[in-house]
């Protein structure tokens, strides 16, 4: 499997230099991947997309036929997603929801609230009484549950089962369930339980996590003699930046979830991946401005950098990439060219942290050649510090059957 689609390759080679760097998204590839993920999941498992991974309106719309809804984590995401995919179900999560954000969500008729603290529960109840007096708001308290130690050891971003600002401590579970079921808050309905405990897990570990969330939730419900309709077991499916042609094992995960669902026929299971849905559909394309030899190593300075694609800097990996050779060289002096096998690709920022990929096998890389960084469809542009050094912003291209540009 190539990590560069033909449509993206063509676009990257056809753009004039002045239009680089550019984010190029292959929406056809995104649809194909999303359809594959949906098909791997049992019918009874709902799929929500965590919008924070990549909230571009074109991405949200392309995913729409394959997802049951969207998870939003701020008032800003809420308004944005509601506009991009009108009428689709939303779940409002995230720590530190401000009162005005909660009110805006209630006024929009958001389907589900993932409540992160007791204070937030009291606030939601008070605001729901005002904003939506005739209705009952569906609540899924988010719990920071302990999970089997072995499964989280592999995780790159574990946030469950240890001190964290996310979710409720399990010790608060009984109090919260009582508040939601003893008539204290008639405007709120305990719909289920939510947990998102780690990111970067492979299918077997993530299944162990899902099983422990479900059995904990079922135990809680039994203890209180209440019925839970839904358990959301979160996202966190791994994307392996070191092996970019690999994919999370959706088939194994779907099979495991099917077994879990069959043991709990009254329960709707829901997952909310972000990264593993959209990472593969985006590329950050640029050109090599200069190639230098420095103290025994080769450096290629690319137009752009980590202020556009922060992912490798923030996760500490080398962003996988493909080199596209360009023969044109219009200057009368010699073209800078790498002398050695391995080249470190940096950006234009005046900081040693501006590294996109270290020691890339790119013998003969020249100024003017182009580079397409793959797996740039999630947590890429939208997590980057765009204004640092005031370089121009990249272009954005959303390739579709008709290869519509923007």
Report the interface residues with ligand PLP, using CB under 6 A: 50, 52-53, 71, 73, 93, 196, 199, 234-237, 272-276
Q: Are 25 and 56 in contact (CB under 8 A)?
A: yes
- CB 165, min distance to ligand PLP, A: 11
Q: Are 389 and 348 in contact (CB under 8 A)?
A: yes
In 3D space, the residue among 404, 350, 402, 396 whose CA is nearest the CA of residue 54 turns out to be 396
Residue 308: alpha-carbon gap to chain centroid: 17
| CA pair distance 218, 210, nearest whole angstrom | 12
| CA pair distance 170, 269, nearest whole angstrom | 20
In the block, residue with structure tokens 């993932």: 114
Instruction: Please spell the DSSP secondary structure of 139-189, one letter per residue.
Output: EEEBB-----HHHHHT-SS--SSSS-SSSB-GGGHHHHHHHHHSSS-TTEE
Q: Which residues pair with 291 in a beta bridge?
A: 300
The answer to whether 281 is a known catalytic residue is: no
- CB 128, min distance to ligand PLP, A: 21
Which residue, 311 or 344, has its beta carbon nearer to ligand PLP?
311
In the block, residue with structure tokens 């094992």: 249
Q: Which helix (H) or strand (E) holds 345?
A: strand 342-346
Which residue, 152 or 276, has its beta carbon nearer to ligand PLP?
276
- CB 184, min distance to ligand PLP, A: 26
Which residue, 20 or 276, has its beta carbon nearer to ligand PLP?
276
| CA pair distance 246, 1, nearest whole angstrom | 9
Which residue, 88 or 275, has its beta carbon nearer to ligand PLP?
275
| CA pair distance 47, 272, nearest whole angstrom | 6
Q: Are 80 and 304 in contact (CB under 8 A)?
A: no
In 3D space, the residue among 151, 228, 159, 167 whose CA is nearest the CA of residue 193 turns out to be 228
Residues contacting 46, CB < 8 A, separation 6+:
68, 69, 268, 269, 270, 271
Which residue, 143 or 185, has its beta carbon nearer to ligand PLP?
143
- CB 75, min distance to ligand PLP, A: 15
- CB 308, min distance to ligand PLP, A: 20
Alpha carbon dihedral 114, 267, 258, 199, in 10-degree steps, equals 20
Which residue, 152 or 301, has its beta carbon nearer to ligand PLP?
152
| CA pair distance 23, 297, nearest whole angstrom | 29
In the block, residue with structure tokens 């409720």: 168
- CB 45, min distance to ligand PLP, A: 15
Query: Of 350, 361, 387, 401, which is the active-site residue?
Result: 350
Measured from the Cβ of residue 368, the count of other Cβ atoms closer than 10 Å reads 21
- CB 389, min distance to ligand PLP, A: 28
- CB 250, min distance to ligand PLP, A: 13
- Residues with catalytic roles: 350
């Amino acid at each position: 499997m190539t990590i560069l689609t033909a449509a993206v390759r063509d676009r990257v080679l056809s753009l004039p230099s002045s239009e680089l760097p550019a984010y190029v998204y292959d929406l056809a590839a995104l649809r194909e991947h999303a359809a594959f993920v949906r098909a791997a999941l049992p019918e009874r498992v709902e799929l929500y997309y965590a919008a924070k991974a990549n909230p571009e309106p074109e991405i949200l719309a392309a995913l729409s036929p394959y997802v049951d809804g969207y998870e939003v984590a701020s008032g800003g995401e809420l308004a944005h997603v509601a506009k991009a995919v009108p009428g689709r179900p939303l779940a409002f999560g995230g720590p530190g929801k401000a009162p005005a954000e909660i009110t805006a969500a209630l006024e929009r008729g958001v389907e589900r609230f993932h409540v992160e603290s007791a204070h937030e529960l009291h606030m939601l109840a008070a605001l729901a009484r005002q904003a939506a007096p005739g209705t009952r708001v569906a609540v899924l308290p988010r719990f920071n549950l302990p999970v089997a130690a072995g499964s989280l050891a592999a995780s790159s971003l574990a946030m469950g089962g240890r001190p964290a600002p996310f979710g409720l401590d399990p010790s608060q579970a009984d109090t919260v369930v009582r508040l939601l079921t003893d008539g204290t808050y008639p405007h709120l309905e305990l719909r289920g339980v939510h947990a998102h405990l780690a990111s970067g897990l492979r299918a077997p570990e993530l299944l162990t996590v899902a099983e422990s969330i479900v059995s904990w939730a079922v135990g809680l419900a039994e203890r209180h003699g209440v019925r839970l309709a839904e358990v959301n077991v979160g996202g966190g499916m791994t994307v392996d930046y070191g092996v970019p042609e690999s994919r999370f094992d959706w088939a194994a995960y779907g099979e495991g979830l099917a077994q879990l669902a069959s043991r709990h026929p009254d329960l709707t299971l829901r997952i909310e991946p972000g990264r593993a849905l959209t990472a593969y559909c985006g590329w950050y394309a640029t050109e090599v401005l200069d190639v230098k030899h420095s103290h025994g190593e080769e450096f290629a300075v690319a137009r752009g950098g980590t202020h556009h694609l922060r992912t490798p800097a923030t996760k500490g990996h080398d962003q996988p990439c493909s080199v596209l050779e360009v023969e044109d060289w219009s200057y009368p002096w010699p073209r800078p060219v790498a002398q050695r096998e391995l080249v470190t690709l940096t950006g234009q920022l005046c900081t040693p942290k501006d590294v996109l990929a270290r020691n890339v096998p790119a013998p003969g890389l020249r100024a003017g050649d182009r580079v397409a960084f793959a797996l740039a469809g999630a947590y890429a542009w939208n997590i980057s510090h765009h204004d640092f050094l005031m370089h121009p912003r990249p272009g954005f291209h959303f390739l579709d059957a008709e290869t519509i540009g923007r």
